[in-house]
């Protein structure tokens, strides 16, 4: 394990900065994505930090939304805070600034990243942005990251439609709400998580991960059909094959282990929406935590 483990949340997530000793004083300590995973890694003795993220540019002081938080003890400036509804490269630049600050402030020369959803894309962009200037990233673990597209992005780019739900009620509901959700919650993020966009973006990322060991974890609770493969099975937002990076070229992803959790969903938002326990969400599942442990110790 490296000197520090940094947890990175995904699109439309609000997350406070936390360090091993300080977190939000009320609500969920590290936000509704990363609280359980942070607690697990702290119990294992890891030096865990969470990267701040919010909806739009600015600082993170609280999240007044669903399962939010308040009383943030350390508020970092906007230039170190990921805009979780913005573009990949913009988010990566802010994450890289945070990682440089973390390296200087906490004297970390090596960092492992554990990222959920679009946080995996922000992390990849940050690794590219860091280059040789800043702490080195040795391992990257992605949980439900759309390496090769997402349901939301593929609906917006007209690559997936409600017809592809094959009558599955849950998938139909998700696809039907995609456009309105993107209109309300995206400042560029939704358009950049389509397979069309990411295949072009991936083609420009060769060499970025050459020195990084990657573990890509996918889930597939929704499996009512088998075609098209870019949709089925899926976790509510990302297909299993995309989250596992099954079709990402080897020159982009040379060192990867792939793991699958057939019964999990993307996040506790989806668990709550479909009457599942939170432990069936990728960032709250103890079995996923065991995979994260193994990846960080490899």
Q: Is the pLDDT of residue 1 over 60?
A: no
Residue 2's pLDDT band, with cuts at 50, 70 and 90, is low
CA distances from 251 to 206, 208, 254, 264, 294 (A): 5, 9, 6, 29, 24
**What integer pLDDT is reported at residue 96 of this predicted model?**
98
Q: What string of H, E and C letters represents the secondary structure of 109-138?
A: CEEEEEEECCHHHHHHHHHHHHCCCCCEEE
Using DSSP, state whether 25 is helix, strand or coil. Answer: coil
Q: Can you tell me the mean pLDDT for 9-19?
A: 97
Q: Is the pLDDT of residue 63 over 60?
A: yes
Q: Can you tell me the mean pLDDT for 68-90?
A: 97
- Per residue in 212-265, pLDDT tens? 999 999 999 999 999 988 999 999 999 999 999 999 999 999 999 999 999 999
**Among the listed residues 104, 169, 117, 167, the one whose alpha carbon sits nearest the alpha carbon of residue 147:** 117
**What integer pLDDT is reported at residue 242 of this predicted model?**
98
Q: DSSP state, 140? A: E
pTM: 0.97
Q: Is the pLDDT of residue 134 over 90?
A: no
**What integer pLDDT is reported at residue 180 of this predicted model?**
93
Respond yes or no on whether the N-terminal peptide bond of residue 228 is cis (omega within 30° of 0).
Answer: yes
What is the C-alpha to C-alpha distance for residues 254 and 141, in angstroms, rounded to an integer?
Answer: 14
H helix and E strand count, the chain: 9, 10
- Per residue in 102-118, pLDDT tens? 999 999 999 999 999 99
Long-range CB pairs of 226-230 (<8 Å, 24+ gap) are: 228/160, 228/164, 230/148, 230/149, 230/154, 230/159, 230/160, 230/195
- Per residue in 164-219, pLDDT tens? 999 999 999 999 999 998 888 888 899 999 999 999 999 999 999 999 999 999 99
Q: Is the pLDDT of residue 92 over 90?
A: yes
Task: Domain ranges for the chain, please list them.
Answer: 4-147+199-297
The CATH architecture one would assign to domain 4-147+199-297 is: 3-Layer(aba) Sandwich (3.40)
């Amino acid at each position: 394990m490296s000197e520090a483990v940094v947890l990175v949340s995904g699109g439309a997530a609000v997350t406070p900065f936390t360090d091993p000793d300080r977190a939000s004083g009320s609500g969920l300590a590290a936000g509704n994505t990363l609280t359980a995973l942070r607690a697990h890694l702290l119990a294992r003795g890891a030096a865990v930090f969470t990267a701040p993220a919010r909806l739009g540019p600015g600082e993170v002081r609280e999240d007044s939304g669903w399962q939010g938080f308040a009383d943030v003890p350390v508020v970092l400036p906007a230039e170190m805070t990921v805009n979780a509804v913005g573009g990949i490269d913009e988010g990566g630049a802010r994450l890289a600034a945070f990682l440089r600050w973390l390296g200087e402030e906490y004297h970390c020369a090596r960092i492992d990243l554990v990222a959920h959803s679009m946080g995996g894309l922000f992390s990849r962009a940050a690794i590219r942005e860091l280059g040789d200037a800043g702490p080195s990233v040795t391992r990257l673990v992605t949980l439900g990251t759309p390496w090769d597209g997402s349901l939301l992005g593929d609906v917006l780019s007209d690559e997936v439609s409600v017809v592809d739900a094959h009558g599955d009620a849950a998938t139909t509901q998700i696809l039907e709400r995609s456009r309105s959700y993107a209109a309300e919650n995206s400042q560029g993020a939704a358009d950049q998580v389509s397979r069309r966009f990411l295949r072009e973006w991936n083609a420009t990322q060769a060499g970025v991960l050459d020195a990084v060991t990657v573990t890509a974890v996918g889930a597939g609770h929704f499996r009512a059909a088998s075609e098209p493969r870019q949709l089925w099975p899926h976790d509510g937002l990302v297909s299993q094959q995309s989250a596992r990076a099954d079709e990402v070229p080897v020159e982009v992803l040379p060192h990867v282990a792939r793991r699958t959790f057939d019964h999990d969903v993307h996040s506790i938002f989806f668990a709550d929406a479909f009457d599942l326990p939170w432990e069936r969400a990728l960032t709250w599942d103890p079995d996923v935590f065991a995979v994260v442990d193994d990846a960080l110790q490899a």
